[in-house]
Amino acid sequence: MSLLDVQHLTVRFHTRNGVLTAVDDVSFTVDPGETLAIVGESGSGKSVTCYSLLRLIPEPPGRIESGTALFDGVDLLQSPVSALRHIRGNDIAVIFQDPMSCLNPFLTIGEQLMEPLIFHRQLTRPAARNQALALLAEVGIKDPTRRFESYSHEFSGGMRQRVMIAMALIAEPKLLIADEPTTALDVTVQAQILRLIKELQQRRNIAVILISHDLAVVAGVADRIAVMHQGKVVETGATNTIFTGAQHPYTRKLLASIRSGAKQHAVASAPTPRPLLEVKNLTTCFRDYGTPLLATEAERFITAVDNVSLTVNHGEILGLVGESGSGKSSLGRSILQMIPVRSGSVTFAGQQLCGLNAKAIRPLRRRMQMIFQDPYASLNPRMTVFDAIAEPLLFHRLATRSSVEKLVHTLMDEVGLARAYVRKYPHEFSGGQRQRIDIGRAIATRPEFVLADEPVSALDVTIQAQILDLLLDLVARHNLTMLFISHDLSVVRYIADRVMVMHRGKIIESEKTETLWAHPQQPYTQQLLAAIPGADRPQHRPPAGDY
Amino acid sequence: MTLATTAAATEERGVSLWQDAWRRLQKNRLALLGLGVLLAMTLTALLTPWIAPYSYDAQNLALGATPPSAQHWLGTDTLGRDLLTRILYGSRVSLMVGFVATGVALSIGILYGTIAGYAGGRVDATMMRLVDIMYALPFMIFIILLMVVFGRNIVLLFFAIGAVEWLTMARIVRSQVQTLRQQEFIEAAVSLGLSRWLIVRRHLIPNTLGPVIVYTTLTIPGVILLEAFLSFLGLGIQPPQSSWGSLISAGVETMEEYPWLLLFPGLVLSITLFALNFLGDGLRDALDPRAAKD
C-alpha cells in the first residue's frame, strides 16, 4: 500500500479578479521509502499541491474543491485541523527553499533544535542536547558541539539547509516534503545536499516528495517524476522512462531546456583579438567591521578581488564562474567602478577608469551597462516600463521627449515585450518579463560592453533558455561584448566563448569554453564540473520536433 | 466617461507617477470625500470675511453664553460673540498653520533626510548629530528665542513650528532612504550613469512617500493644536482673534457650564482630522502602483 495516495485533488483560488484553478484534478502516489519528484515551472501548481495536503495554503482565497489524500489510511483533506496539526509535526515534515527565513535569528541553532525535543518529546535538557547533537552530526555538520551555540546568520546557505533538514528529522517523519531545497545554493553545495537527502532517506526509509523547477536537479535523486504544467500532472513515470521516452510535449520541452551542449554559434575567434576591456592587477577589499579593536591593518579588510588581470576582446562573451563568496560579483562591480577599488587598473576602450570621479565616469557609463540578477529588485517599483527604459535615453540625450516613445517601442520589440505593456508597472510582470525589461534598459543606450551578473539565476529553467537566447541574439546583432557572471556552469557553457574560473578572489583557470570542459586543469574546476546536476542522469536523445 | 476610455486615453500619452496616482485616487471614494471636505473648508476659510454672519470681535455682554439658536447657529461664547463666526475666522489661522508649517517641515525634512541617508558615512553622521542636538534643545526655548529676536509675527510662527517638526520627518525619510539605497534598482540607476540628483528625485523620494504621507496626516492636526498652546503662552495669535486651538482650550475651561463651546470647535477639528486621514490613506495607496488596482 502506498504511504500517500492523492486522488483528483483540485484547488482553486477565489480572488477578486476571478477564480484561478491552481491544482486541476491531480493524482499521484508515494510509496514508503520512495522519492517522488514533482517538476514544473513556477506557477504550475507544484507547491500548492503539497501545501494543500497539509492545509498550509491560505483559506480563503484558496479552497480545496475536491479530491482525497490518504496518508497512512487517513484522509488529510477531511481531517480536523487538530489532527492535521499532529500529522504535520510528527509524520510529515517540510523543508523550504529559503532556510534563512525559517530560522529564528535570535536563538542559537542548538536552542532551536532542542525546543521541539523538550516540548513535544518531553526529553530532559541534557537528553535533548545529546539528541540534537546527534542530529547535527547526522546531517553532516562538522564539529556540532561548537556549532551548537551559533546563530543562523553564522552559517552558510548550505549549512543552514542542513540544519533545516535536521529539524525536519526531529519528529522522525515518514514523509519529507522538500520544496526547492537547493535552488538558492551553489552547485557543489547543491550536490552535497541532494546526496544528504538521498542518504537519509535510505538510512531511515523516509518517503520524499522533492519539488523542483529543474529536471536536471532531480535526475540523480528521484525514483519517479511527476511533471506538472498549468495545474495538471501531464506525465508521471520512472525517472529513467521520463528521461529516455518522455511522451508529453511539455516534458520534452523541459528536457530540451537542460543545457547539455556547447555554445551553438561560437564566435570564430578573430585572427587578431582586439581588447575592449583590460584589467590589470585589480584588488578590491571590504572593511570587516567584525574585527577586534587592535587588529592589524591587514586584518581589518577582507580581500574580495585579489590581484586579478583579464582581457575581454571585442565581440566576445567571457564567462566568469565561481561559487558565492568567490568574489565574482565584486570583480564585476569593481570593473564598472561601482565599488571602490584598492589598487590596479581598468582600461575601457583605451580609457583608464580607475581614479575617475563620479562625474567624469558618467558619460562612460552609457557605453558599459549592467544586467542584474534579481529582476524583482532591479526595477524601481514606481516607474512604468516606459519610464524605466526612457530614463537613460533622455538623460544621456540620446532621444528627445518626442522621439523617445518610438525608441522605447523598438527596444521593447527587440527584447520581446509586447508594446501594449509599455504603461505597466514592474510588479505586473513575471520574472522572465521583468528580466526582459532589465535587458531593454541596459541596451537602450547602445553600450559596447555589458556586464551580466547572474542574469538567469532567479528564473525557471525554461525561461532561462529564452533569456539566454535573447542575450545571444542581442550580442550578435549589436556586436556587444559581454562579461557573463554565473554560478551555473551549464549556463556559462551555453553562452560563453571563453571561461574564467574564480575561487577565493583569484582567477584560477582561464580557457576556451570547450577546452575547459574537455580538459579542466585545476582540481577545483574538476570538482565544479563534477557537481553539475544531472551529470549522472540517464542519457536521453533530444526528441525530434521544434520545442 | 467610462473607465475603459480613461484607460485607453492614458495608454496613449505619457503618464507620470502623479498623473497615475490621481487617476487611482479618483477611484477611492473615501479619499475623494476627504479631499472634498478639505477643499470646502479651505474655500470657506478664504471667503470668511464675506460670509461670516457677525464680526469676530463683536461682543454682546448682555447676551453672554447662549446655546445654539436661530440667530446664533452654534451659540455664543461667554462674551456674547458668535461661535460660528469665530470658528470660521479661526479656520483661517488654523488651516494656514497646519498646511504651511507642515509644508515647511515636509520640504526640509525630506530633503535633509534624503541627503543624509543617500550620502551616508561622515556626512550622514554629522547631519544626524545636528538633528539630535536640535531634538535635545527644549522646543519652547527655541520658539521663544525666535519670538524675542524677530518679534511676534504670525508668519514666523509657521516657520518656527515647521522648523521643529521637520526633525522627525528627516529621521523617517533617512531610514527609508538607507534601506532603499541598498536595493538593486538604485545600483541599476548608478550603472546607467544617471546623476545623483536624478537618482534622488526619481528613484529615492517617490519610494519614501508612503510613510511620509502617513506621518504628514498625523502632523497637521498636531500642529494645529500646537498653535493653540503657543497662543496660550502669548506667542501665537492674540485675542480677540481666534483659532481652533484657542477656541478648544477656551472651551475646555467652561466645559461643564457651556459644553457647546468645546463641542463645536472640537467637532470641526475632528472632521478635518478624519478628512486628512482618508485622503492620506488614499494618497498612500494611489502612489503605490503595487496596491490593488480596484
Each residue of A127-159: pLDDT tens digit?
888 888 888 888 877 778 878 888 777 777 778
Q: Is B187 exposed, middle or buried (0-12, 13-18, 19+ CB in 10 A)?
A: buried
What ipTM was reported for this prediction? Answer: 0.73
Average pLDDT score, chain B: 82
Rounded CA gap, B9 and A175, in Å? 55
With a cut of 50, say whether residue B66 has pLDDT above it: yes
Q: Is residue A297 predicted with pLDDT exceeding 80?
A: no
Q: Is A434 on the interface with B (CB under 8 A)?
A: no
Give residue A156's identity as a one-letter amino acid code: S
Among A383, A405, A454, pick the best mutation site for testing chain B contact (most B Cβ within 10 A): A383
Q: Any chain A CB within 8 A of the CB of B39? A: no
Q: Which amino acid is at A20?
A: L
Residue with cell 528627445: A400
The CA distance from B248 to B236, in Å, is 15
Between A37-51, A253-267, A363-377, A533-547, the lowest mean confidence (pLDDT) is in A533-547
pLDDT band for position A544 (cuts 50, 70, 90): very low
Nearest to A95 by CA among A210, A188, A184: A210
Residue numbers in A near B203 (CB within 8 A): 380, 383
Report how far residue A507's alpha carbon sits from residue A332's, in angstroms, rounded to the nearest whole number: 13
Per-residue pLDDT of A188-219, as tens digits, reads: 778 888 888 888 888 888 889 988 888 888 88
* Residue A73 backbone zone (phi > 0: left; psi -120 to 50: alpha; other: beta): left
Provide the strand spans (E) within A180-265.
207-212, 224-229, 232-238
Query: How far is it, in rounded angstroms, from Cα B121 to Cα A309?
Result: 31
| A370 in contact with chain B, both atoms CB, cutoff 8 A | yes
Q: Which has more confidence, B92 or A89?
A: B92
Residue A71: predicted pLDDT: 84
Q: Write down the pLDDT at residue B221.
A: 81
Among A15-29, A349-363, A444-458, B127-141, the least confident range:
A15-29
Q: Does the distance separating the beta carbons of B206 and A366 come in below 8 Å?
A: no
pLDDT at residue A535 in the model: 53
Among residues of chain A, what percentage have pLDDT more than 90? 14
B256 in A contact zone (CB under 8 Å):
no
Selection from A460, A484, A464 nearest residue A312 by Cα: A484
Number of CB atoms found within 10 A of residue B180's CB: 19
Q: How many CB atoms lie within 10 A of CB B49?
A: 11
pTM over cut 0.95: no
Q: State the Cα–Cα distance between residues B152 and B154, nearest whole angstrom.
A: 7
d(CA A250, CA A262): 23
pLDDT classification of A261: cutoffs 50, 70, 90? low
The 3-state DSSP class for residue A527 equals helix
For A545, the grid coordinates are 520536433
Between CA A180 and CA A211 the distance in angstroms is 5
> In this complex, do A391 and B202 lie within 8 Å of one another by their Cβ atoms?
yes
- What are the C-alpha distances in Å from A231 to residues A217, A222, B172? 21, 21, 44
Query: Which secondary-structure segment (H or E) carries A482?
Result: strand A481-486
Of A441, A440, A478, A438, residue with least CA distance to A454: A438
Cβ contact B206–A382 (<8 Å): yes
Q: CB B188 to CB A441 under 8 A?
A: yes
* Buried-exposed string A403-416: b where 16+ CB fall within 10 A, e elsewhere: ebbebbeebbebbb
Q: Do residues A347 and A274 touch, judged by C-beta distance below 8 A?
A: no
From chain A residues 448-507, the ones with a CB under 8 A of any chain B CB are: none
Render pLDDT for A491-511 as a digit per residue (tens, 0 to 9).
888 889 899 999 888 999 988
Closest CA to B15 of B293, B294, B289: B289
CA dihedral B207, B210, B212, B215 (to 10 degrees): -170
Q: Describe the strand order of the beta sheet including A351-352 as a list of residue ranges.
A: A301-313, A275-287, A343-348, A351-352
Residue A91: closest CA among A201, A207, A222: A207
SS3 A74: strand
- What does DSSP assign to residue B76? B
Q: Who contacts A4 (Cβ-Cβ below 8 Å, separation ≥6)?
A: A29, A30, A53, A69, A70, A71, A175, A207, A209
Q: Name the band, by pLDDT with cuts 50, 70 and 90, for residue B13.
A: very low
pLDDT of residue B12: 38
B184, B194, B207 member nearest A382 (Cβ): B207
Q: Does the pLDDT of residue B1 top 50, yes or no? A: no
User: Coil, strand, or helix at residue A112?
Assistant: helix
Q: How confident is the model at residue B15 (pLDDT cuts 50, 70, 90)?
A: low
Give the DSSP H or E segment for A475.
helix A461-478
pLDDT of residue B96: 87
H or E segment and range at residue B258: none
Angstroms from B206 CA to nearest CA on chain A: 7
Distances (CA, A) of B9 to A289, B3, B26, B294: 54, 10, 15, 18
Secondary structure letter of residue B200 according to DSSP: I
Task: Find, in chain A, the residue whose alpha carbon is nearest to that of B294.
Answer: A16
Measured between alpha carbons, how far is B4 from A226 in angstroms, rounded to an integer? Answer: 43
The C-alpha angle with vertex B108 and arms to B107 and B114, in degrees rounded to 5, equals 90
Task: Write the pLDDT tens digit of every residue in A298-343.
Answer: 677 778 888 999 999 988 999 999 887 788 888 999 999 988 888 8
Q: How many CB pairs under 8 A join A and B?
A: 87
**Cell numbers at residue A277, please?**
576591456
Question: Looking at chain B from residue 68 to 87, which residues have their Cβ under 8 Å from any Cβ of chain A?
Answer: none
For position A50, what pLDDT does the model report? 85
Check residue B262 and give its pLDDT: 87
**pLDDT on residue A290:** 61
Residue A363 CB burial class (10 angstroms; 0-12, 13-18, ≥19) = exposed
Q: Which residues of B touch A358 (CB under 8 A)?
A: 196
Residues of B in contact with A382 (CB under 8 A): 17, 206-207, 287-289
List chain A residues with CB under 8 Å of B201.
none
Measured CA to CA in angstroms, residue A288 lies from A153, A223, A295, B257 at distances of 16, 46, 10, 69
All residues at 6 or more sequence positions from A130 whose CB lies less than 8 Å from its CB, including other chains: none
Measured CA distances, B183 to A205, A429, B213 (Å): 44, 19, 22
